[in-house]
Structure 1
Amino acid sequence: MSKGILVDIPKCIGCESCSVACKLWNELPWDSQEKNKTAEDRAKEPNKGLWPDEWTSINRYDVKKNGSSVGRYVKTQCFHCEDPACVSACFSKALKKLPEGPVVYDQKLCVGCRYCMMACPFDILRYEWKKAIPGVSKCQMCPSRVTNNQETACTSVCPTGAITFGDRDQLLAEAKKRIKDNGYVNRVFGEKEAGGTSWLYISDVPFEDLRFRTDVTTKSLPSYTEGYMKLTPFIGGTWAAVLAGLYIYNNKNKEPLE
């Protein structure tokens, strides 16, 4: 059964435990200055985006609720679409969707075309411009854990229960229950967006105020991208030569796996 994660936005306190767990589990580089920052320090910073070494980000938004100003924190990462456009756009098969939910990336197969970045409706994927052998970067949703029925690193450390791991269908039912019980906005973001995503969000304030892309189509995006990808074989030998060159360049300095 496909897994998912439910994000209950009002419960998030911006502690960034999830960000730390993500970096530690995935062995991502860590800025030493970041280690000493408190949640209050981070709240004063400008909104952060995703970077090759930042697979998740927490941003604070000051919004209006019942005439008063309130602060809400939003965790952002790859949404792990149920029918991902990035996978459909990747003709080198560097991206694939696992039955358990994660959309994973294998740099060894990547030719650096960045079609996946153009296809993503949420603008999540990042290109590793500073690396000699660049690839794309994003949250992998801890596939080695999820495929063994273990929760993701980020959900395992959340102190408030703002992010919950489980079966997607069950989480969707729980999301709708919480909406009814707590008077939240009557919408589960991720239920239908881009054909549905593994990450589901509920909120007590409009998603538009939290900078969600609420205009994303509910139609599965591969139905659009596959039409364009069918044209690829007709481009001819020149494009094939370019791809071959990209592959050789991106892999020429890689050491063989032991």
Structure 2
Amino acid sequence: MKRRDFLKGSLQSGAAVLTGGALAPVTAEARPNLQPKEDAIGMLFDSTLCVGCKACVAKCKQVNDMPPVTESEIRAWDEARDLSGDTLNVIKTYKNGDGSTKDAENNGFAFEKRSCMHCVDPGCVSVCPVTALTQHEKTGIVSYNPDACIGCRNCMAGCPYNVPQFQYDKPFGQIMKCQMCNQKGVERIDNGLLTGCSEVCPTGATLFGTRKALLAEAKRRMELKPGDTYTYPRGDVSNPGSYHDKRVPTYKQHIWGETEAGGTNVMHISAISFDKLGLPPLGERSACSVAEGVQHSLYSYLALPAVLMAGLSYVVKRNTDEEGEGS
């Protein structure tokens, strides 16, 4: 085979690939945010109702068969650590000045809950290379399958709330996160029960239900007049186990999780600014909706050398066959 013929054929093959549609240039475009599931379930945390008893923390450990709260944690009850491999739900404390007034930003205090937000468009699911993290097609619950996990911990980087935690203290550690009490061996939701934290909460600060009903309840509270008395439901928002009356605080007119990063199924309301409670500043766009477009474009371009090589191989074979026939 003559070198000139080879180069000529190679150039023709490469041009055909690039201009003939075999692999047209791809522009990275963000896909739309995923939308909430029609029957999604979740929880509403009302910081103004939380009294910091941490019954939810103890119940979560009991339900998930985790080590109980330690003596050192009891001594530091108001200085809760973050989520960890053996703590899926914590209550954090906000305090300013002398901390004398509940739900006041100046010289006040408040409580904030940390657990999985069960995002509508979950980053942990998007970045997991082996689908160890999945989103239930009906409920929207984000679940973890340890048998599929390879321990890459991409999910920890992909979550804007720092929720997935790895068990660093165990030889065969797993990723741990709240699965809304409906994972293998627990299945409370499938059995018609509430999440442990919403069941045990004495004030209804953590409320269980469908996302639609919870969002409607949150909006109802936004419209209440501060100082009036409101009958707050406990347990399930659509079928409360009990109620209690409390004066309405001055709510911040924002429902965290309604739109943040595409929305979450666990939403928060408060009388304290959310940035002071430690929630990250997020826009409405889901980060993974943008990242997936970039990733897919990169994969397309990475395929270009393979396509060109296939074209060159075809040219070599064709010319070799022609020479063989002519000899």
Percent sequence identity over matched residues? 36
Q: Which residue is 1:243 aligned to?
A: none
The residue type equivalent to 2:288 in the other structure is: P
Matched residues in 2 for 1:203 and 1:63: separation? 16
Q: Which residue is 1:152 aligned to?
A: 195
Residue 51 in 1 paired to residue 84 in 2?
yes
The Cα offsets for residues 142-191 of structure 1, whole Å up to 9 and x where unpaired, read as: 11122344210110000011110011111101101112214310100011
Instruction: Note if contact 2:96-2:105 (Cα within 8 Å) is conserved in structure 1.
Output: no
The residue type equivalent to 1:3 in the other structure is: I
Matched residues in 2 for 1:16 and 1:59: separation? 10
1:168 to 180, 190, 211: 211
Matched residues in 1 for 2:293 and 2:274: separation? 31
How many aligned residue pairs are there? Answer: 229
- The structure with the largest alpha-carbon Rg is 2
Residue 86 in 1 paired to residue 119 in 2?
no
Residue 194 in 1 paired to residue 261 in 2?
yes
Q: Which residue is 1:220 aligned to?
A: 286
What are the within-5 Å matches in structure 2 for residues 1-258 of structure 1? 1-33=39-71, 37=74, 42-43=77-78, 45=79, 47-63=80-96, 68-98=106-136, 99-143=138-182, 144-181=187-224, 182=248, 183-213=250-280, 215-227=281-293, 229-230=295-296, 231=298
Compute the displacement of 1:67 (Å).
7.6
Higher relative helix content: 1
From the superposition, tell whether residues 205 and 67 of structure 1 become closer, same or farther in structure 2 (CA, over 3 Å). Answer: closer
The residue type equivalent to 2:77 in the other structure is: R
* 1:146 partner SS: coil
Compute the displacement of 1:66 (Å).
6.4
Tell me the TM-score normalised to structure 2 length: 0.65
Over aligned residue pairs, what C-alpha RMSD do you find?
A: 2.2
Q: Which residue is 1:252 aligned to?
A: none
User: Which structure 1 residue ranges, 5 or more long, are not aligned?
Assistant: 236-258
Matched residues in 1 for 2:213 and 2:96: separation? 30
Compute the displacement of 1:221 (Å).
2.8
Compute the displacement of 1:228 (Å).
5.1
Compute the displacement of 1:101 (Å).
2.8
Compute the displacement of 1:79 (Å).
0.6
Matched residues in 2 for 1:229 and 1:125: separation? 22
Compute the displacement of 1:119 (Å).
0.9
Compute the displacement of 1:73 (Å).
0.8
Q: Which residue is 2:5 aligned to?
A: none
